[in-house]
Amino acid sequence: MPSFDISSKVDLQTLDNAVNTTKKEITNRYDFKGSHIVIDLDKKTFKISLESDSDMKMEQLVDVLISRSMRQGLDANSFDLSKEVLPSGKIVKKDIPVKNGLAQEDAKKIVKAIKDSGLKVQAAIMDDIIRVTAKKIDDLQEVIQLCRTSDFKIPLQYINMKS
């Protein structure tokens, strides 16, 4: 039976390249000359730590990070920007966790959307991936189309297509 997996993974090397290009652009920008700017990537926890002098520079820093990440091929939904900026004396800090892997509630939403669509497929949650099987490969392609048109607020990859 044909099958494929739905996952939500972020490539660590691509993320590291995006952070490095952001650092390079910030050091070359005139409006950041002489400013306290720190950009760190924790590769174990997939968290980006940002520090700057002011809220305005922090917003610009986040914008540059997202635009550089999108140029590297990362989805903007990979970053959890819901955490607030933390003032710490003269410095403003922000931690941006990177979504890596499907959370259980997101996987349940996707499976529910697949089952509600009425397609003749079976979707099963396996750790941080969803395995979708069907009798015809055309049904699997319709599931991929359904997931692409639905807005789940997470980046999805479709891997291990087997016929």
Task: List, for residues 103-158, the tens digit of each pLDDT value.
Answer: 899 999 999 999 999 999 999 999 889 999 999 999 999 999 999 999 888 999 99
Note the pLDDT of residue 28: 93
pTM for this predicted structure: 0.84
Domains of the chain: 3-8+101-162 (3.30.70.860), 12-97 (3.30.70.990)
What are the residues whose beta carbons fall under 8 Å from the beta carbon of 27, sequence distance 6 or more?
none
3 within 8 A of 143, measured Cβ to Cβ = no
* Coil, strand or helix at 121: strand
